[in-house]
Amino acid sequence: MIAALTQLLIYQLAGEIVARGLGLPVPGPVLGMVFLFAALSLAGGPSPDLQRTGQGLLQHLSLLFVPAGTGVMLHLGRVAEEWLPLAAALVVSTAATLAVTALTMRLLMPKAAAPEDRP
């Protein structure tokens, strides 16, 4: 677990260094993901340790958003004042994004990729 965590942190660090060093608009962890993906493709897959640790982290991905979400405390005033535009923007935009993305994807997906036809 420690070896796998070290590995994940090294990829994240490499991502941060490249992103900041080259002034890229891409966040460090996303570049780190790209680097790890490249390494996994070369190695043919993750070690059992990395597989387990990665799975453990991702299983509780939603926990990691809780501290930032609790930050709503800092903005109760603004949220109370602008609740209507905020709520409407979030609801309309989220629904529109879900619908547009899913419809575009389905329109362009080959029929063979439908779930009924999977082997």
Partner 1 sequence: MSGALDAFALSPRLGELWVYLAASPLLGLTLTLAAYQAAWWLHRKSGGSPLANPVLLAVALLVTALTLSGTDYLTYFDGAQFVHFLLGPATVALAIPLHAQIRRVRALALPVLAALVAGSVTAIVSAVAVGKLLGASAPTLLSLAPKSVTTPIAMGVAERIGGIPSLTAVLVIATGVLGAVGARYLFDAMKIREPAARGLAIGVAAHGIGTARAFQVSEEAGVFAALAMGLNGVLTALLVPPLAAALAG
Site for partner 1 in 62-101 (CB under 8 A): 62-75, 78-79, 82, 84-86, 88-101
Total residues contacting partner 1 (rule CB under 8 A)?
76
Compute the least distance from the CB of residue 11 to partner 1, in Å: 5
Can you read off the two tokens belonging to residue 106?
């389905």
Compute the least distance from the CB of residue 65 to partner 1, in Å: 5
3-class DSSP state of 33: helix
CB-based contact 15:33 (threshold 8 Å): yes
Is position 3 an interface residue for partner 1 (rule: CB under 8 A)?
no
Q: Site residues for partner 1, window 10-69 (CB under 8 A)?
A: 11-12, 15, 25-30, 32-34, 36-37, 40-41, 45-46, 50-51, 53-55, 57-69
C-alpha distances in angstroms, 87 versus 68, 75, 91? 18, 14, 6
Compute the least distance from the CB of residue 97 to partner 1, in Å: 4
Q: How far apart are CA 7 and CA 5, in angstroms?
A: 5
Q: How far apart are CA 52 and CA 49, in angstroms?
A: 5
Compute the least distance from the CB of residue 31 to partner 1, in Å: 9
